[in-house]
Amino acid sequence: SGLAAAYFYQKEHGSDKKVLILDNHNDFGGHAKRNEHTINGSTLLGYGGSQTLVRLEGTIDRAEGYHRVTWETEKAYYWSNGMAADVFKVVNPASYSKNGKVYTMFGPLPEMKGRTVVITAHYYGHSDTIRIHLL
């Protein structure tokens, strides 16, 4: 996005540099925008932009119905402000399984580029690992 490009430009060339951002739609910032709706008295929150980049699939040993799966990375990654990435899950915590197959979306951080990342899924006391290389 234009916002990310401006941020990385200033990070590389100095925060004193000015960047003009022209954006032609109201969803400026993608993830930075928070969609908030109140339905029947309950507040629902959603992302304003696309959430993820890589789709992962795996298998589990329970085949019936839908189940929640939690994921974590082997190595700690940090946002540019120094906050640990696990505060904002690196991998979508809303992953699920259906009939023995696990589905999730993985949103890599910029510092993961060019590295091999090990991701572990935890499910009812079981765990499985996938290793991916991000170009």
Its CATH class, for the domain covering 51-135, is mainly beta
**Domain extent listing, the chain:** 1-49, 51-135
pLDDT of amino acid 91: 45
Alpha carbon distance 35, 48 (integer Å): 6
Alpha carbon distance 80, 111 (integer Å): 9
- Residue with more model confidence, 135 or 87: 135
pLDDT of amino acid 67: 46
Q: Write out the two tokens for 39.
A: 């339905």
Buried b (16+ CB within 10 A) or exposed e, 81-115: eeeebeeeebbbeebebeeeebebebbbbeebeee
Give residue-wise pLDDT tens across range 15-31. Answer: 899 988 876 665 555 55
H-run or E-run covering 1? none
pLDDT of amino acid 123: 58
Give residue-wise pLDDT tens across range 50-105. Answer: 444 444 445 444 444 444 455 555 555 555 566 555 544 444 445 555 555 555 65
Give residue-wise pLDDT tens across range 36-52. Answer: 778 888 776 665 554 44
Alpha carbon distance 97, 103 (integer Å): 6
pLDDT of amino acid 43: 74
pLDDT of amino acid 13: 92
pLDDT of amino acid 32: 52
Report the percent of the chain where pLDDT is more than 70.
25
